[in-house]
Structure 1
Amino acid sequence: MTDFSEKLSAYLDGELDATEAAAVEARLESDPAAQAEFDALMEADALAQDVFEAQLDDPVPFALAQQIKAADLTVPANSAAAPTPRSGWGAIAASLVMLVLGGVGGYVVKGQTTPPVQTAGWLADIADYHAVYASQGRHLVEVAADESDHIEAWLGNTVGAEFSIPDLSEFGLTFEGGRLLVANAKPVAQLMYRLPDGTVVALCLQASSRETDGTLAFREQTINGFDFVSWTANGADYVVIGPQGQPDLNAIAADAALEI
């Protein structure tokens, strides 16, 4: 476990100050290997959260509830034991333990609640936005599809990455328009498409300083109930997002990557 791996774990847990977090983000933008490590850690974290949330639906045994309420988690003030560095996986495990003690079935320990497992990175932010906006009807977008030229100029200039709106009609997707988001403190362009059944699929992009060799490398992951296919090209990070299990998402991303 390297020092940077430990920092990635701390960044994922929101434990770094602003200066340290900025240093990690700069490293992620310039180092594909570091980004790949972070993506794997974030995916594992999201999977752990999904598993835990599924367990919340199970009834809590009364005996376990009594043990949780009676647990003494106080650390003696004169304790000489120093905390040991946690690996990325250890951080996730520790977060899950605290969640069990702090919130299973609505119980708390000595009146204290613990924060939920966090997923960092721009994809987690996109998942949060998509969960809200995909359910909108009239207000799905800020600027409608009939102003496509304006969308390309406005969002392209704002995010710092030129693009053309892909035609994804061969997948049954109708372009509805676009909106501006913010993820990891950077502007993001979100292009919204809708299937005949009302399902919303989005294509998002933000400027990136990562260099590529011209080969498209697609990464797949699931975060908070949404499937993602992401890639980096031409100075920008891209991602296609749809509901978990959405068919053809890989093909949609591949086609969008060629057209955008």
Structure 2
Amino acid sequence: MTDFSTQLSAYLDGELDPSAASAVEERLAADPAAQAELDALIAADVLAQEAFEAELNAPVPFALAQQIKSAPMPEPEAPKARPVWGALAASLVVFALGGIGGYALKGQNTPVQTAGWLADIADYHAIYASQVRHLVEVGADESDHIENWLGNTVGATFSIPDLTEFGLTFEGGRLVVANGKPVAQLMYRDADGVVVALCLQRTSKTPPATPTFNEQTINGFDFVSWTAGEADYVVIGPSGQPDLNAIAGAAALDI
């Protein structure tokens, strides 16, 4: 295991100081291999969490939940580096406690894990993509308002891309939150009712001169993500969505 792998573990756990975190983010923006290693860690975490879902969905005895709620929290320890798989195991413990009811985390100031925003987006998309009448908060007939409202809230200016060449009609937008930061979610739908979303969140990275497009699948959805200008972007569609790379490329040029 390399020193950078250990740094990535600490980064995902929110254990790096601002200067060290910034250095990691700069390397991720400039080094596709480093970004691929981070994506692999996130994907491994997601797979491990999915393996635990059956257990986590089982009913929790009320007495056990009460014990967890009343148990005193240990004093926080000074941050220390952990091996990557140790970090993943720790994340599963936190996830499991959250499944029991979140008692162990209630009232705690958990560090923001900026790299995990795509998993949150997958959760939102799974809910909103099935909506028809309530797909968006603000409809496409108020596009100027959407650009001003979401741009000001997210802290990144953008224009709504025209994706009609891919058979996608802009339906409108909504505001969501991922890792404690506001996210603009622009929703498109094709003639068959399939929903594709373009999401953006203000970035803390130094954007590369030329965007690097990263592909991954999370919770049954395909993603193409990149960083440019003031924001991190991602296009999300159902698994196997055709032309998703081309859609991302067109959006990057138009936004």
Same fold (TM > 0.5): yes
Which residue, 112, 127, 152 being the options, matches 1:157? 152
Distance in 1, matches of 2:14 and 2:150, equals: 32
The correspondence of residues 117-136 of structure 1 with structure 2, limited to 5 A, is 121-136=116-131
Task: Give the corresponding residue for 1:41.
Answer: 38
Task: Give the corresponding residue for 1:87.
Answer: 83
Deviations 1:232-252 (A, max 9, x none): 112221110111111110010
Instruction: Answer whether contact 1:28 1:34 (CA < 8 A) is retained.
Output: no
Flag the 1:54–1:167 CA change in 2: closer, same or farther, 3 A: same
Deviations 1:76-112 (A, max 9, x none): xxxxxxxx975324654x57998xxx9xxxxxxxxxx
Distance in 2, matches of 1:167 and 1:189, equals: 16
Instruction: Answer whether contact 1:43 1:223 (CA < 8 A) is retained.
Output: no
Task: Give the corresponding residue for 1:192.
Answer: 187
Q: What amino acid is aligned across from residue 9 of structure 1 in structure 2?
A: S
TM, length-normalised to structure 2: 0.69
Flag the 1:131–1:222 CA change in 2: closer, same or farther, 3 A: same
Unaligned runs of 5+ in 1: 58-83, 103-117
- Once superposed, what is the RMSD of the aligned Cα atoms? 3.7
Distance in 1, matches of 2:243 and 2:165, equals: 11
Distance in 1, matches of 2:18 and 2:180, equals: 10
Distance in 2, matches of 1:127 and 1:52, equals: 14
Offset at residue 129 of structure 1 (A) = 1.4
The correspondence of residues 1-260 of structure 1 with structure 2, limited to 5 A, is 1=1, 5-12=5-12, 14=13, 16=15, 20=16, 25-31=21-27, 32=29, 37=34, 40-47=37-44, 49-50=46-47, 53=50, 86-89=82-85, 91-92=87-88, 94=89, 121-260=116-255
Q: Matched residue pairs, number?
A: 218
Flag the 1:35–1:86 CA change in 2: closer, same or farther, 3 A: farther
SS of match in other structure, 1:216? coil
TM, length-normalised to structure 1: 0.68
Offset at residue 131 of structure 1 (A) = 1.4
SS of match in other structure, 1:121? helix
Unaligned runs of 5+ in 2: 55-79, 97-112
Identity %: 65
Q: Report the structure number with the largest CA radius of gyration.
A: 1
Deviations 1:13-46 (A, max 9, x none): x474xxx476665444444258963653343442
Instruction: Answer whether contact 2:139 2:172 (CA < 8 A) is retained.
Output: yes
